[in-house]
Structure 1
């Protein structure tokens, strides 16, 4: 993007002046021109929509602003960016043409125009636009990889690979450079060199499904089906039953070879945008990720992962309705269709449409009673809605489908344990939590949950505290776990130690009402009553659960002694001795 300019034309300034004047002089409201009020109103609405990443609304208000202030370059820029984020690419391209006239090196506008040129197979035009764009670490890699694919599209495979190899940058460039060099060579039929590059990409980033998929496909055609199966098998150990991998393995076992992951410059360029968009989205660059993913889909709508990654990003941004739209667009022929159907139900629930979500999952489970993903999704929905008896029963159905649980199944027992504990079935909950720890002994959440439950009940105190300490050591920046350690000390009557840990927890999660409430109680116990009141007041303002709110208000008014508090827990042998 270009250097930000104040989002204020003279017309906008006049609009705000009119609104302020209107507020100061209500009797003269009729004298204010409607256009000024509309301009200011649309500006404010557009800013609010943009801040909430409501791209549909932002585009609507920004379009109105363009009609009212057609010469304002800043409005054009914001409208362009909002359109890209919303997937309105064709309209955004029209604004990109206009923007590069005002700012010749505008990075995102030049990127968009290069993608349009690639789609039309106008490869020299694409390279010209990429060469004119302002650069940075992401921009350098994007422009270089896209330019390389345009060289491939022009029939210059050697130039494409040399361009990639010349690019210098941080270490995280390397796996992407190797992958795209290998993809270009594979698409060009240069078998030996393609294999070297793709194998190197896989070795550098063994957790990358795209790298493993690309190499395994090459191996199926150039080495052996066994070599391809071995590559997929390495990924299976990390993430079992991935639908793309399972579909590929079925084809290989049927004696089929697999085509290259990418065959055209358009597909390769879409892969560049998808790969960088997914990476940027995981690192906090959601707006840019939306732009990259939307361009990837526009360039190659059949990309198997771009749509699901976009939907996942919408989930991350708490926009379930947008995610639902994307999941509905996944074609029935895609190996990822069933995953999309499960996530569609999850987002229906997030959009407060539980009945629709439940019906959707029930239909899936009826069609395939062994669909463990759909069953687990239903369990998670029930758990989030505090339907604890129901979710325990649902998780039991999922567990029944696993004859020999392994380390990867620990979460099923953990979640069923939570549901059993919350539905007052502690013996079953304890058995589940112990089983989860048996499968994964160093899992911090299980250590924390079981350890704290024991401390809270006054049993296995030494072991329970040690488990919580271990969890906190494994996850020192996890606010809830550090809070558990502090609250365990509180329950043991070790109030000074409780304060130390709860203050750490507050640093990690200052806006959590439970932790603020806990710290208030601990402060009270060590005589810091003024600070206790402050923490309770803060907890009250952070929208705690209704039952907690009632107690917090009582503590603020009358102090901790006005609220029923459980006595400090003691070891069973101490109780028996009357100690």
Structure 2
């Protein structure tokens, strides 16, 4: 119920923020390119900026915005603004780009200029208000924050921030009253009770704080920060056993979250845990993080980016805000930006290991694979049973076609899998089997694929891979065909699996059925070179030679594997040799007769 209602209000909030950000045409977060550039390599130098005219800076800024490079966009817009200081559009764009980049000190200066022109600009009010709160100008903070309100999301955020500003000014009672006065959607009480509880806790009203935390916990016991706040309160005001119970309940819903694991260690040792926040600034950062992270998960990246950057302005080392910001950058395909954020997670945080794993994945995405592998090997050296890190390492090696390495890495995971026949373990054998098959160790690969199916009998990708491999080798044709058909039944819209079925028909000499299925695979995955190559072969066998050469040409242009390119070019030039008794199907029948099939 909470998530559905929140989703609707999220849409409204994005529309609202659009009225603030849409005063800036071509918003900072525009379309993502297929291959994001390295922002560090492209960031403009002082000489770059000096050499540009206003128009040049503006065009460069627009290009940076399209590339989702907020840092460069902000630099270029500020450069343009310096040469045309009365241009309000440039002022707005420079401001929003600075907020998106996390340069809040610069954004504050620009926001103050905006407010001399437009006192109703809500984003400018919010940014200035957060700055006031950071520097402990609590009365000014409340004034500016209250003028940023309009709509359910901004209403909630502004009210929570105003409550924390009141606490900072020494009026904890007034801060709680401010929060309690807020009326709105049914998901408001969760945030209201959590933050009112934290203010009461810091002001010494422990009993009242406990009532608020318990109420929030009953509203949503799956919310991480509610669980943490309540368990920490229990450890100080009840007993460690009660706190442990709350942590354990969360662990059953989401196993092995690092912050929950840390809490369990502390409470099992009988320790009394400190409050979740320790100041007005930390409380405000928590409010901005909480809403920002929720918006990120629900497609509200523009508004989430503003809140997360403001949260980190107040508390630069907030590990959850950092992870949420990095996740946001990943969702808009900016791994280089995510890398910089993951590197900021403090080494003392229980979340550092998670950050290291994600950092490695993003480094690999940025073609910095050796760095990624070094990081993951460092993580696994600290804990040889860290299955998540081992899986990430194996996946990177497999993606980079280091099949000997990834087979050995997956073996490290297989060796420490928990006992039992959990179907979740199937993926380990499947991935190791792929690496073994690609490194010419078919006997091992076949055994692993069979083990994967033993653990998860109807897994379509395993059925497809093993069935395809058998048919491609000309063995176990009937069983292989049955496996692929079972995979297609489960994944009828998966182009790769449909391609396997088409190619299986080709390998047994049923070219008409091959064409039928390969044409469907092309409809599903038109830009895959292998499927185009397969369809070309099938067309040739049914006499559609011109279409065959077209498909091969298309396959050639789609950048096939290097070892396949000369084969495709030879087919374009010479076609296929005549089918005869030496076909793969005939060879397969011979193997079956000899008793040599898989």
Structure 1 match to 2:267: 252
From the superposition, tell whether residues 36 and 220 of structure 1 become closer, same or farther in structure 2 (CA, over 3 Å): closer
Give the TM-score of the pair, scaled to structure 1: 0.78
Give the stretch that moved more between structures: 189-198 or 35-44.
35-44
Structure 2 match to 1:162: 180
Q: Higher relative CO (CA 8 A, sep ≥ 6), structure 1 or 2? A: 2
Distance (whole Å) between structure 2 residues aligned to residue 347 and residue 544 of structure 1: 24
Does the CA-based 8 Å contact 2:390-2:410 persist in structure 1?
Answer: yes
From the superposition, tell whether residues 271 and 465 of structure 1 become closer, same or farther in structure 2 (CA, over 3 Å): same
Aligned length: 539
Distance (whole Å) between structure 2 residues aligned to residue 240 and residue 84 of structure 1: 35
1:278-427 map, 5 Å? 278-404=293-419, 406-427=422-443
Give the stretch that moved more between structures: 281-290 or 64-73.
281-290
Structure 1 match to 2:220: 202
What's the CA shift for 1:250?
Answer: 0.8
Does the CA-based 8 Å contact 1:105-1:134 persist in structure 2?
Answer: no
Distance (whole Å) between structure 1 residues aligned to residue 579 and residue 349 of structure 2: 57
Name stretches of at least 5 consecutive residues in structure 1 with no aligned partner. Answer: 8-33
Secondary structure of the residue that 2:53 maps to in structure 1?
helix
Secondary structure of the residue that 1:305 maps to in structure 2?
helix
Distance (whole Å) between structure 1 residues aligned to residue 322 and residue 431 of structure 2: 29
Structure 2 match to 1:233: 248
What's the CA shift for 1:472?
Answer: 0.9
Instruction: Please say if 1:461 is aligned against 2:476.
Output: no
What's the CA shift for 1:67?
Answer: 1.9
Distance (whole Å) between structure 2 residues aligned to residue 71 and residue 198 of structure 1: 49
From the superposition, tell whether residues 498 and 255 of structure 1 become closer, same or farther in structure 2 (CA, over 3 Å): farther
From the superposition, tell whether residues 140 and 382 of structure 1 become closer, same or farther in structure 2 (CA, over 3 Å): same
Distance (whole Å) between structure 2 residues aligned to residue 372 and residue 343 of structure 1: 14
1:527-538 map, 5 Å? none
Does the CA-based 8 Å contact 2:394-2:407 persist in structure 1?
Answer: yes
Distance (whole Å) between structure 1 residues aligned to residue 189 and residue 61 of structure 2: 39
From the superposition, tell whether residues 558 and 213 of structure 1 become closer, same or farther in structure 2 (CA, over 3 Å): farther
Give the stretch that moved more between structures: 294-303 or 310-319.
310-319
Name stretches of at least 5 consecutive residues in structure 2 with no aligned partner. Answer: 1-19, 27-48, 201-205
Instruction: Please say if 1:100 is aligned against 2:112.
Output: no
From the superposition, tell whether residues 94 and 399 of structure 1 become closer, same or farther in structure 2 (CA, over 3 Å): same
Give the stretch that moved more between structures: 547-556 or 100-109.
547-556
Give the TM-score of the pair, scaled to structure 2: 0.76
Distance (whole Å) between structure 1 residues aligned to residue 178 and residue 512 of structure 2: 65
1:457-536 map, 5 Å? 457=473, 458-459=475-476, 460-472=479-491, 479-481=495-497, 483-484=499-500, 487=503, 509-518=525-534
Q: What does the per-residue CA deviation read over 1:400-435, in whole Å, with 9 as the maximum and x for residues that have no partner? A: 233526444443333222211221223322333343
1:69-84 map, 5 Å? 69-84=84-99
